[in-house]
Amino acid sequence: MNKVPGSSQSMLHQRIAALRWALPLMMVALVMLYQLVIMRWVHDTMSDPLHFTVEVIFYATTGPILAYWVLNRIRSWLVEKEDAERRARTHEQRLASITAASADAILSLDPQGMILSWNRGAELLFGYSADRMLKQPLTQLLSGEDAAEIELQWLSETARQQGFVRGHETACRRIDGSEAMVELTATHIQGDQGTSVILRDITLRKQREEEIRRLNTSLNEQVADRTRELAEKVEALARANAELQKLDQMRADFISLVSHQVRAPLTNMRGAVEQMQVSCPVALTLTCAQMFSIVSAQMDRLDRLVSDVLDAARLEVEPILVQAEPLSILPVIRQAVEQMRARRMDHPIRLPTRPGLPLVDADRERLVGVLVNLLDNADKYSPPGGEIGIDVRADETEVTVSVRSSGPGIPEADLERIFDKFYRVESGDSQRAYGYGLGLYICRRFLEAQGGRIWAENRAGGGCVFSFALPVWEGE
Ligand code: ADP
């Protein structure tokens, strides 16, 4: 820190004033010390000539030594003062050049608010030269005359009371009449010598802030609009969803109602037909036997349709219950084939003969259902004379069962889609066969619920193969 010259001057005065008293006091103290202590000892122990010599030496040296010491002190204090003054001058010059070169406007005001200094930054900011503005009131710069007087008074008063005013934003007039927004810092100069004022141009910042505020407002409006639109859409979606749920429920209710209403009379009809066959008193004619057989086949078909529709409807709303157990696949295949044969199939079935297969982890009833479905399809879609074959193979993780049939096969594009709900191949042959596109969909869902999978392929020599794989039972 540079010492202020004023303070070093007053310190020098104080030191010299103190020395004015200290010097005589020190001399008195020395003489008294000599006279009271040393001289007595010299007087008692030394001869008179020696005693005289000591006294002469004491009085002749003490005064000059003290004077030398005092002058030396004063000299070093003067050097110190000169140093402090030099440093202060350099500091002042540096401050003055910083003030002059500053991009901010730096002014000093007298206690009446008249401008005493006007730097280059002020010239650049307001366009006025120093000659024009020196001795002019600061109110000339501030916008609004009466308000400017009040503002200046408030600034000087607050700066006087608190020492400074910082970050005060106000509007000033430039030489061309345009308005400049400034951030003002006023500092009270000690000794009531006026106020120093720094003005920083914040016009651009204010314009940007205004722009950001405007953008923000428009953004908020846009967000509010979008939110409103979204809320309306969400409401419409919720309404549509509720409507859909209602429709879905109605559909499920309708399917369940129709299926049950159909199934009950169907069961009664089956019972009645069987009763008629058994209790007929006379032997049936060939035509009658054929009619009974047709009625029975049609009832089977209707029964399968009802149970498929019920299964598909249930798959939509509830999880599939699987009662998995370790199963040997060959007996399951035989059970399915027997069920099919009881229905009088049009094509012969070749059964697999492969002992030593691992057990599968599956639900017996559902597995029989899947096999019956695949065999029924093979019977339905194979041309007369074609044979149906069942193959089984296994590896360490899966047992795979394939049902192969003859015929034209399935278009490549449909090999995946035939497992979708209600999907049927649009070829004339397929459409002629009785069906409704639910069987393979149900098979896929049942197998997937048991950790299995199903797929279809075309055979090189014609016809197709439907295969499904199930995980090997891993228990003991
Ligand atoms: P549906 O047989 O009642 O139409 P599925 O879901 O069982 O319904 O079969 C879907 C479609 O797959 C059938 O319409 C048929 O076109 C085709 N498909 C199924 N199995 C065979 C098969 N063995 N041979 C040829 N096409 C088949």
- Contact of 394 with 458, CB cutoff 8 Å: no
On whether the CB atoms of residues 170 and 160 are closer than 8 A, the answer is no
Nearest to 375 by CA among 364, 388, 384, 385: 388
Laid out side by side, the sheet with 453-458 consists of 349-350, 388-394, 398-405, 464-471, 453-458
Distance between CA atoms of 437 and 232, rounded to whole angstroms? 39
Which atom of ligand 1 approaches the CA of 464 most closely? 24
| Phi, psi dihedral angles at 362 (to 5 degrees) | -150, 170
The whole-number pLDDT of residue 7 equals 65
How many helices (DSSP H) and strands (DSSP E) are in the chain? 12, 12
CB 309 within 8 A of CB 259: yes
Q: What tokens were used for 367?
A: 């597995």
Beta-carbon count within 10 A of 148 CB: 21
Say if CB 168 and CB 186 are below 8 A apart: yes
Q: What is the dihedral of CA 190, 191, 193, 196, to 10 degrees?
A: 10
Distance CA 469, CA 451 (A): 9
Which tokens is 94 given?
A: 């540096």
CA atoms of 256 and 218, how far apart (whole Å) = 56
78, exposed or middle or buried, with CB in 10 Å at 0-12, 13-18, 19+? exposed
- pLDDT score of 467: 98
Ligand 1 atom with least separation from CA of 405: 23
Does residue 119's CB lie within 6 angstroms of at least one atom of ligand 1? no
Specify whether the CB–CB gap between 379 and 345 falls below 8 A.
Answer: yes
Question: Which numbered atom of ligand 1 lies nearest the CA of 424?
Answer: 14
Residue written as token pair 């069942």: 390
Instruction: Show pLDDT as tens, one digit a residue, over the chain (476 residues).
Output: 444 455 666 788 888 888 888 888 988 888 888 888 887 787 788 888 888 888 888 888 888 888 898 899 889 989 998 998 899 899 989 888 888 788 889 999 998 889 999 999 999 999 999 999 999 999 888 876 678 888 888 988 899 899 999 999 999 999 999 999 999 999 998 887 889 999 999 999 999 999 999 999 999 999 999 999 999 999 999 999 999 999 888 877 877 787 778 888 888 988 888 888 888 777 778 888 888 888 888 888 888 888 888 888 888 777 888 899 999 999 999 999 999 988 778 888 998 887 789 999 999 999 999 999 999 999 999 998 888 999 999 999 999 999 999 988 999 999 999 999 999 998 766 667 778 899 999 999 999 999 999 999 999 988 999 999 999 998 77
Q: How far is the CA of 407 from the centre of ligand 1 (A)?
A: 12
**pLDDT given for residue 6 in this prediction:** 57
The C-alpha R_g of the chain, in whole angstroms, comes to 58
CB count in 10 Å sphere of residue 388: 23
Residue 435 CB contacts under 8 Å (≥ 6 apart), including other chains: 380, 424
* Burial of 184 per CB tally in 10 Å (0-12, 13-18, 19+): buried
Ligand 1 pocket, mutate which of 374, 390, 424 (most atoms under 8 A from CB) = 424
Residue carrying structure tokens 């006087």: 160
Tokens of 318: 């509830």
The answer to whether the CB of 436 is under 6 A from ligand 1 is yes
Query: For residue 380, how far is its CA from the centre of ligand 1 (angstroms)?
Result: 8
- Token readout for 269 is 């009809």
Alpha-carbon distance of 270 to 276, in angstroms, equals 10
Q: Which of 81, 188, 173 is nearest to 127 (CA)?
A: 173
- Pocket mutation for ligand 1, best pick of 306, 376, 381, 457 (most atoms within 8 Å of C-beta): 381
Distance 248 CA to ligand 1 centre (A): 27
Question: With a 6 A CB cut-off, is 128 part of the ligand 1 pocket?
Answer: no
Q: What six digits make up the tokens of 430?
A: 């397929």
Please tell me whether residue 412 adopts helix, strand or coil conformation.
Answer: helix
Mutate to test the pocket of ligand 1, among 308, 415, 430, 436 (most ligand atoms within 8 A of CB): 430
Residue 458's DSSP bridge partners are 464
Cβ–Cβ under 8 Å, residues 464 and 458: yes
Is the CB of 408 inside a 6 Å radius of any atom of ligand 1? Answer: no
Q: How far apart are CA 459 and CA 447, in angstroms?
A: 23
User: Cα of 434 to ligand 1 centre, how many Å?
Assistant: 10
3-state class of 423 per DSSP?
coil
**CB of 376 closer than 8 Å to CB of 337:** no
Rounded distance, CA 194 to CA 110, Å? 4
Give residue 193's pLDDT. Answer: 85
- Helix %, strand %, coil % of the chain (to 5): 60, 15, 25
Which helix (H) or strand (E) is 467 found in, with range? strand 464-471
Question: What is the distance between the alpha carbons of residues 205 and 201, in angstroms, rounded to a whole number?
Answer: 9
Instruction: Enter the DSSP assignment of 1.
Output: -
The set of residues, in sequence order, having a beta carbon less than 8 Å from that of 89 and lying 6+ positions away, is 5
For residue 227, the CA-to-ligand 1 centroid distance in Å is 49
Does 390 contact ligand 1 (Cβ within 6 A)?
no
Q: At what angle do helices 329-342 and 364-381 cross, to 10 degrees?
A: 50
Number of the ligand 1 atom closest to the C-alpha atom of 423? 10
Tell me if the pTM is above 0.75: no
Q: Using N-to-C axis directions, what is the helix angle for 364-381 and 439-449, rounded to 10°?
A: 150
